[in-house]
Amino acid sequence: IIPSQINSTTVENIQNDIKKYDCDAIILGCTELPVVYNENNLQKPVVDTTRLLAHYALQYASED
């Protein structure tokens, strides 16, 4: 996922910056963000919009 040390360092810096914000949760609003970030490495609840979209699309499709 992270092919170079420069990219890895950038991701770690972003993680550290996000942890400093006084927020209740973090919205992962791009499709690739959940690949890199999660509740474990951000130490805050996250909202994965791709997962939510898939969940509600399946729910909608299965309605009578």
How many residues would you count in the chain? 64
Token readout for 48 is 């994965």
Predicted pLDDT of residue 56:
96
Predicted pLDDT of residue 42:
84
Predicted pLDDT of residue 3:
59
Cα→Cα distances 41→26, 36, 38, Å: 12, 9, 6
Q: Which amino acid is at 44?
A: K
Provide the residue range defining the domain that includes 17: 5-61
Q: Is this structure's pTM higher than 0.75?
A: no
Contact at 8 Å (CB) between 37 and 51?
no
- Give the pLDDT mean for 6-31: 83
Predicted pLDDT of residue 17:
87
pLDDT tens figures, 34-60: 888 888 888 889 999 999 999 999 999
Number of independent structural domains in the chain: 1
Contact at 8 Å (CB) between 11 and 36?
yes
